[in-house]
Each structure stands twice: as structure tokens, then as C-alpha cells.
Amino acid sequence: MLSENKKNHNLDIIWEYADVVENGWILEEDIIPKLTIQEKILIVTEGSSDTDIIKKCIKLLYSDIADFFDFIDMEKNYPFTGTGNLKNFVKGLSKINILNNILVILDNDTVGKSVYNDIKGIDLPNNLKVITLPNYKDFDNFKCKGPREILQKI
């Protein structure tokens, strides 16, 4: 009802539920909504380092929505590793009516781009998207450390 009054539209909302929880009237987990499968986003990556870096970045930059994401890396969580098998995995996902929103992230190297082009020929459901990492000219020529060293510093 408060939101229907236009005078309230610029006011902050403060949820004060601590007293109700502390006095045992309700459990905190009953107040905080759980995400449904349809609300979660499953991110599929080629390798463990991709998953580790993306997870860490989401937690650092967007900690308030980090629980919206689940991860599968083809290196750890799939018995048939490699980008070729990632294409078969995507084919399988496209046929089983999975409810999650799925984002498959491929490297922008030659193999990743080749698999991406192969996958573009598959009839994918609307909730399954496939992308490659962006290709920035600034990243063509610089010294870098491997993902393990980077993650240790983050």
C-alpha cells in the first residue's frame, strides 16, 4: 500500500525484522527468499581457472548477487574434458529442457572460437547462451602471470 502513494517513491525502505527473529516468531531463513532453479544462472567454463576467476570476481564486485550463480567447469565436473566435449555437453543441455538459465563461456583462442562457431549451428533454447571471452587489442602484447598466481593475490 505504501508504494501506491507517489509521495513514498523516493523514500528508503528499511526492513527491520531482527526483533521478530530474535523473539522466535519466525526463522531468518523464512524471511530470506530462496532462489528457484529458473532464477539461478549456471555458468559453464572450459577449465577450473576460468571458473575460479569468474567466481572470485563476482564475489568481489557483486557479492549481493553471487548466490544467483552456480558453476560447472568442464575440467573438474565433467568426465569427458576438452572443448570438443563441451560442444557435446551443450548439445545435450539443449535437448533436455533444463530449467536454469545457462551461460557457456569459451576462451577466445583458436579452439574456443572454433567450438563457438560449431555451437552456433545448434538450435539452442532461449535459456542457453554461448559466448567467447572478449578480444581486446590491449591484451595482445603484455606479460602476465598464470591464473593460480593471480588468484592467490585476490
pLDDT tens digits along 82-114:
666 778 888 888 888 788 899 999 988 888 889
Q: Is the pTM of this model over 0.85?
A: no
Q: What is the pLDDT of residue 116?
A: 92
Q: What is the pLDDT of residue 147?
A: 64
Q: What is the pLDDT of residue 104?
A: 92
Q: How far is CA 147 from CA 17, 58, 100, in A?
A: 42, 16, 28
Q: What is the pLDDT of residue 88?
A: 83
Q: What is the pLDDT of residue 110?
A: 85
154: closest CA among 65, 72, 54? Answer: 54
* Grid cell digits, residue 33: 527468499
Q: What is the pLDDT of residue 69?
A: 94
* Grid cell digits, residue 6: 507517489
Q: At 54, which amino acid appears?
A: I
Q: What is the dihedral of CA 104, 105, 111, 117, to 10 degrees?
A: 60
Residue spans of the chain under pLDDT 70: 74-84, 142-154
- N-to-C CA span, the chain: 45
Burial per residue of 140-149, b for 16 or more beta-carbon CB atoms within 10 angstroms, e otherwise: eeeeeeeeee
